[in-house]
């Protein structure tokens, strides 16, 4: 049985990629299953999705702990999450990156396929959504499914969800990425650390989980703990502010979901806090005078 | 010709409703159920399904609307989850007493507090006394197949009760798996259109349904409903068989036994844990351990005879639960003990996966090891065992 773990960000479509891979594998005679990590998804936040493929019916319904392959939709996630956790050393990683395989450090030397899926997506789809392109790289790197099956799987899942034409375009993105994928071996120097989680015992758990602000070995929990969650690392696009056009209506300030826009200079102008600005673009969308423009970060 | 596609449990549920040719659907969204009613709206919009599709303002209204629709004699459907089911609570008692064969998938999700969206049975289990037939399923194929079977069971003249189809949040609702879609003609042959006889709202044949009722009548109504629930046992077995001969998939009836033949201990499971437990049973059998499993498919009506028969052949039995009746153990365990009254073997309860925590292979193995230990000792160290709870010895 092959188990695949997708690392993406909310909104990048990791779940659709996992489903399209399952559909592709099914077309090649596998029994295949795909599911999201059962977590709360937010646009930009690191998310997981999984695919399982086997020649016989897959019965286990628990989560994946030792993937044969990992697929990384955004190479900046490598610094944020332990992407190689539990990864089978005889498996492989597939990374969306501008780097070469040898420049990728996964904390283990392992077969790795790289492709600049973001550029492929921008060229073919006109948007930086890499969930289809990366599957082309998966086919090339692992050989577990053919590129033709991947195209079919994308037509099935993407076509069914966002329309036939979009399905075709995304299948093309996979094909282009397939042709551009370079396979090599990763470096294994970095020490990968999994993010610590606060896991109190029954005895330590505050009654009813009514939690005060407290320092734990996994960091701050309770009120104010969000300051440790630097959502700035989620960004693909960043807001560029044109002070001359701004009329200080404060719509952007009001709508920013991260509170990343600050009034400065005695309330006369604005400043963006890039530690927390996740690049969602809501501010640019809301601004009535087009004083904010989103540009690739 | 039937076709196979890789789809989510939510899609399978909606498609089951389509194949059952439902005539009315009430829709109100709630994670993780929303996709069921979304898919239905697409089917109606695309002309694949000829049904009245009504958006309502709450789950309470959704259930009220399907009760009214079903009372006019049309095949009706809705779906919900968690808080939504809780909000429906007071209306749930109507179709069971009025004998309206509604079918409703419930995507099992924890009921707040603490607020979560993951799988737990504390939404459906507290509704077990509302008079609904209650089934639990283990994969997406069973979701689709069970919507069709549910109507067949519900509409049987000896039954005429609503059916609640419990399916695990995310583990089924948002997971894609290969599902075989039967032919429409085959489904039509298996499930003919519904003809309401005892209750309908037709101007040419006026009736009063659900009127104010004094004590002179209600107790008899309760008795009728109880009889219907009991009668459902035989009907379920028959429908399971008929479904198997029509579509080639045999789900066993009220329960399905897995490798119980010469088993020394048996675990009674429900929901998707069943599916993972099959792998565990096979692995442990390979190691020479005589373990077996019983999949509890229906919680209402409860399969007393089947459970007792299995238990009579083993040295220890355990019940898996994904929710708790505080201070008393899990509902499946409570019911199981009732079924096994007077039997002198260890009867254990395993609580795991509450709030949606992953129930892993080692967790299920531990349940079997505990049962084997109890069988050896003739007594369980602890009757009620919490698996994977931090700070609590299992
Ligand atoms: S893009 Fe704008 S709205 Fe979004 S987080 Fe950044 S500053 Fe806030
Ligand atoms: S919405 Fe635009 S105009 Fe209004 S305060 Fe923000 S940047 Fe200035």
Q: How far apart are CA A258 and CA B54, in angstroms?
A: 37
- Closest protein CA for atom 6 of ligand 1: A277
Q: What confidence score (pLDDT) does residue A43 get?
A: 60
Q: To which residue do tokens 């399923």 refer? A: B137
| Closest-CA residue to A131 (of A93, A158, A91) | A158
pLDDT tens for residues A229-259? 778 877 878 999 999 999 999 999 999 998 9
- Report the DSSP pairing between strands B24-27 and B103-108: unpaired
Classify A185 as helix, strand or coil: strand
Q: To which residue do tokens 């309206």 refer? A: B100
* Mean pLDDT score across all residues of chain A: 92
Q: What confidence score (pLDDT) does residue A44 get?
A: 65
Structure tokens at A230: 């630097």
Q: What confidence score (pLDDT) does residue A47 get?
A: 84
Q: What confidence score (pLDDT) does residue A39 get?
A: 61
Q: What confidence score (pLDDT) does residue A42 get?
A: 60
The whole-number average pLDDT for the span A91-118 is 96
Q: What confidence score (pLDDT) does residue A38 get?
A: 60
A110 neighbors A119 (Cβ within 8 angstroms): no
Angle between helices A133-142 and A117-124 (to 10 degrees): 130
| CB neighbour class for B62 (10 Å; exposed up to 12, middle 13-18, buried from 19) | buried
For residue A36, the chain B residues in CB contact (below 8 A) are: 170, 174
> Is residue A69 over pLDDT 90?
yes
For B331-361, b where at least 16 C-beta lie within 10 A, e where not — what string? bbbbbbbebbeeeebbbbbbbbbbebbbbbe
Q: Residues lining ligand 1, judged by CB closer than 6 Å?
A: A 239, 256, 258, 260-261, 272, 277-283
| Cβ–Cβ below 8 Å for A19 and B177 | no
Q: How far apart are CA B151 and CA B160, in angstroms?
A: 10
Categorize the per-residue pLDDT at A227 as very low, low, confident or very high, splitting at 50, 70 and 90.
confident
Ligand 1 centroid, distance to A260 Cα (angstroms): 6
Of B113, B139, B390, the CB nearest to A201: B390
Q: Give the rounded distance of the alpha carbon of A248 from its chain centre.
A: 34
Q: Residues lining ligand 2, judged by CB closer than 6 Å?
A: A 246-252, 286-287, 289, 291-292
pLDDT tens for residues A121-135? 999 999 889 999 999
Q: How far apart are CA A105 and CA A89, in angstroms?
A: 14
| Closest-CA residue to B172 (of B296, B93, B81, B278) | B81
Q: How far apart are CA A12 and CA A135, in angstroms?
A: 13
Q: Ligand 1 pocket test: pick from A280, A284, A291 the residue with the most ligand atoms within 8 Å of its Cβ.
A: A280
- Cα distances from A74 to residues A53, A127, A282, B9, in angstroms, run 24, 15, 22, 29
What CATH architecture applies to the domain B3-247? 3-Layer(aba) Sandwich (3.40)
pLDDT tens for residues B293-331? 999 999 999 999 999 999 999 999 999 999 999 999 999
Domains of chain A: 2-185 (3.40.920.10), 231-296 (3.30.70.20)
Q: What confidence score (pLDDT) does residue B172 get?
A: 97
Does B366 contact chain A (CB < 8 Å)? no
pLDDT tens for residues B34-67? 999 999 999 999 999 999 999 999 999 999 999 9
Q: What confidence score (pLDDT) does residue B170 get?
A: 95
Residue B98 burial (CB count, 10 A)? 19
Q: What confidence score (pLDDT) does residue B203 get?
A: 85
For A165-186, b where at least 16 C-beta lie within 10 A, e where not — what string? ebbebbbbbbbbbbebbbbeeb
Percent of chain A at pLDDT > 70 equals: 98
Q: Find out whether the peptide bond into B32 is cis, omega within 30 degrees of 0.
A: yes
Does B296 contact chain A (CB < 8 Å)? no
Q: What ipTM did this prediction achieve? A: 0.90
Q: Ligand 2 pocket test: pick from A240, A244, A251, A286 the residue with the most ligand atoms within 8 Å of its Cβ.
A: A251
**How confident is the prediction along chain B (394 residues), in pLDDT tens digits per residue?**
678 999 999 999 999 999 999 999 999 999 999 999 999 999 999 999 999 999 999 999 999 999 999 999 999 999 999 999 999 999 999 999 999 999 999 999 999 999 999 999 999 999 999 999 999 999 999 999 999 999 999 999 999 999 999 999 999 999 999 999 999 999 999 999 999 888 887 888 888 888 899 999 999 999 999 999 999 999 999 999 999 999 999 999 999 999 999 999 999 999 999 999 999 999 999 999 999 999 999 999 999 999 999 999 999 999 999 999 999 999 999 999 999 999 999 999 999 999 999 999 999 999 999 999 999 999 999 999 999 999 999 9
- Closest protein CA for atom 6 of ligand 2: A252
Q: What confidence score (pLDDT) does residue A223 get?
A: 81
Q: Choose the weakest-confidence range: A137-151, A197-211, B52-66, B308-322.
A: A197-211
For residue A62, the chain B residues in CB contact (below 8 A) are: 276, 358-361
Categorize the per-residue pLDDT at A224 as very low, low, confident or very high, splitting at 50, 70 and 90.
confident
Q: How far apart are CA A150 and CA A47, in angstroms?
A: 22
Compute chain A's Rg from CA coordinates: 21
Q: What confidence score (pLDDT) does residue B202 get?
A: 81
For CATH 3.40.50.970, the residue range(s) in chain B are 3-247
Which CATH code fits B255-386?
A: 3.40.50.920
Q: Choose the weakest-confidence range: A97-101, A275-279, B255-259.
A: A275-279
> Is residue A40 over pLDDT 60?
no
Q: How far apart are CA A290 and CA A288, in angstroms?
A: 6
Q: From the CA of A292, give the closest atom in ligand 2.
A: 7
């Amino acid at each position: 049985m092959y188990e695949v773990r997708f690392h993406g960000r909310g909104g990048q479509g990791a779940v659709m990629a996992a489903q399209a891979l399952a559909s592709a594998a099914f077309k090649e005679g596998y029994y295949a299953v795909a599911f999201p990590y059962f977590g709360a998804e937010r646009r930009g936040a690191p998310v997981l999705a999984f695919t399982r493929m086997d020649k016989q019916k897959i019965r286990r319904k628990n989560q994946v702990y030792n993937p044969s392959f990992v697929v990384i939709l955004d190479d900046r996630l490598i610094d944020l999450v332990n992407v190689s956790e539990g990864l089978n050393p005889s498996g492989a990683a597939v990374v969306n990156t501008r780097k070469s395989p040898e420049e990728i450090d996964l904390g283990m030397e392992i077969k790795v396929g790289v492709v600049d899926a973001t550029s492929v997506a921008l060229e073919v789809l006109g948007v930086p959504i890499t969930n289809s392109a990366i599957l082309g790289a998966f086919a090339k790197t692992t050989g577990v499914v053919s590129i033709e099956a991947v195209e079919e799987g994308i037509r099935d899942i993407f076509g069914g969800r966002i329309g036939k034409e979009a399905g075709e375009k995304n299948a093309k993105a996979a094909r282009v990425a397939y042709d551009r994928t370079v396979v090599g071996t990763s470096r294994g120097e970095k020490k990968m650390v999994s993010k610590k989680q606060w896991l109190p015992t029954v005895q330590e758990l505050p009654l009813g989980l009514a939690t005060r602000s407290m320092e734990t070995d996994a960091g701050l929990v309770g009120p104010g703990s969000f300051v440790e969650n630097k959502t700035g690392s989620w960004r693909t696009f960043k807001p560029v502010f044109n002070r001359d056009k701004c009329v200080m209506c404060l719509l952007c300030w009001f709508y920013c979901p991260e509170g990343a826009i600050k009034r400065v200079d005695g309330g006369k102008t604005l400043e963006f806090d890039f530690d927390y600005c996740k690049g969602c673009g809501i501010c640019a969308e809301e601004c009535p005078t087009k004083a904010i423009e989103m540009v690739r970060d | 010709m039937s076709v196979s596609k890789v789809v989510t449990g939510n899609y399978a549920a909606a498609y089951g409703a389509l194949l059952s040719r439902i005539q009315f659907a009430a829709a109100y969204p709630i994670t993780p159920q929303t996709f069921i009613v979304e898919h239905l709206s697409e089917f109606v919009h695309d002309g694949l399904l000829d049904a009245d599709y009504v958006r309502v303002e709450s789950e309470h209204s959704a259930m009220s609307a399907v009760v009214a629709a079903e009372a006019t004699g049309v095949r009706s459907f809705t779906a919900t989850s968690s808080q939504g089911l809780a909000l429906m609570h007071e209306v749930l008692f109507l179709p069971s007493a009025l004998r309206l064969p509604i079918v409703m998938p419930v995507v099992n999700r924890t009921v707040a507090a603490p607020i979560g969206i993951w799988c737990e049975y504390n939404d459906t289990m507290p509704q077990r006394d509302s008079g609904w037939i209650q089934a639990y399923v283990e994969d997406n194929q069973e979701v689709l197949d069970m919507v069709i079977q549910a109507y067949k069971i519900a509409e049987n003249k000896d039954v005429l009760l609503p059916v609640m189809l419990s399916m695990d949040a995310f583990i089924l609702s948002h997971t894609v798996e290969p599902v075989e879609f039967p032919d429409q003609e085959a489904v039509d042959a298996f499930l003919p259109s519904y003809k309401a006889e005892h209750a309908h709202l037709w101007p040419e044949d006026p009736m009063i349904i659900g009127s104010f009722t004094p004590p002179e009548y209600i107790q008899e109504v309760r008795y009728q409903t109880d009889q219907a629930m009991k009668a459902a046992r035989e009907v379920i077995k028959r429908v399971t068989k008929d479904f198997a001969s029509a579509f080639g998939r045999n789900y066993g009836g009220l329960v399905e036994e897995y490798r119980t033949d010469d088993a020394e201990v048996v675990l009674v499971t429900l929901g998707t844990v069943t599916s993972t437990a099959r792998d565990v049973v096979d692995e442990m059998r390979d190691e020479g351990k005589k373990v077996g499993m019983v999949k509890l498919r229906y919680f209402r009506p409860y399969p007393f005879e089947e459970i007792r028969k299995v238990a009579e052949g083993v040295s220890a039995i355990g019940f898996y639960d994904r929710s708790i009746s505080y201070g008393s153990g899990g509902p499946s365990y409570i019911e199981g003990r009732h079924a096994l009254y007077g039997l002198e073997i260890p009867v254990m309860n395993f609580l795991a996966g509450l709030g949606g925590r992953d129930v892993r292979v080692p967790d299920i193995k531990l349940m079997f090891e505990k049962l084997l230990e109890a069988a050896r000792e003739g007594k369980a160290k602890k009757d009620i065992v919490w698996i994977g709870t931090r700070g609590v010895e299992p």
